[in-house]
Amino acid sequence: MHPNAAFRWEDRAAMRAFAQEVGFGMLFLNTQDGPHVAHLPFVFLGEDRIGFHMARGNAIARYLDGAEALFVINGPDGYISPDWYSSPDQVPTWNYVAVELVGSARKMDEAELIAQSDALSYSQELKLTPKPVWTRAKMTDGLFDKMLRGIYGFEMHVTTWRSTLKLGQNKSESMREAAANGAAAAGNIAIADAMRNLPE
């Protein structure tokens, strides 16, 4: 995480809401075969618990049960040109939002994997309203059970939360707004919106 205290984000509820809205991240694990990363959708199963699943053939899968891992969720990011500030003698930078979750992973049993899979799809289906929510009841009998044989589910108990909210807080409001306008004009609406809507 960024060492500048101006970019530190400590609002756990806001971090959790952000991570839940993104719903996708990168799981990092150092193994005897070297470092590995898996790109995974996830869902919160509790205040400090996330659940995810992966293909049984994923290189991380054989090492993950009982291991401590790092899960990273990224938000909007983008290059900020010095020309966009309303002040001379600035330097280029990159603004971004990121949350890091550190914790121990545990392999799920089949019932937990099914519940995690259902919770994950349901949380994403809700974002698509007014479309009716998809459920596995729409699948051909036996197909879901067959597909389950190709994946493992894991739960990660989060013991450490870290985050960076680097959105120009070290600049004046007028400079930050000018840079946000520049980012928006360059097509990066997401980072511009984040810069303009800093958490309290």
CATH number, domain with residue 10? 2.30.110.10
Express each pLDDT in 69-89 by its tens digit: 999 999 999 999 999 998 889
Tally of structural domains, the chain: 1
Domain membership of residue 65 (yes or no) is yes
Q: What is the mean pLDDT of residues 145-155?
A: 95
Give the position of tokens 């004009």: 185
- pLDDT above 80: residue 61: yes
What 3-state DSSP class applies to 104?
A: strand
- What value does the mean pLDDT of the chain take? 95
- In this prediction, residue 174 carries a pLDDT of 94
- pLDDT above 80: residue 162: yes
pTM, 2 dp: 0.93
- In this prediction, residue 137 carries a pLDDT of 92
Spatial neighbors of 53 by CB under 8 A, at least 6 apart, are 40, 108, 113, 116, 117, 120, 151, 152, 153, 154
Domain membership of residue 84 (yes or no) is yes
Q: What is the mean pLDDT of residues 15-44?
A: 96
Domain membership of residue 117 (yes or no) is yes
- In this prediction, residue 200 carries a pLDDT of 63
What is the domain extent for residue 69?
A: 5-190
Domain membership of residue 199 (yes or no) is no
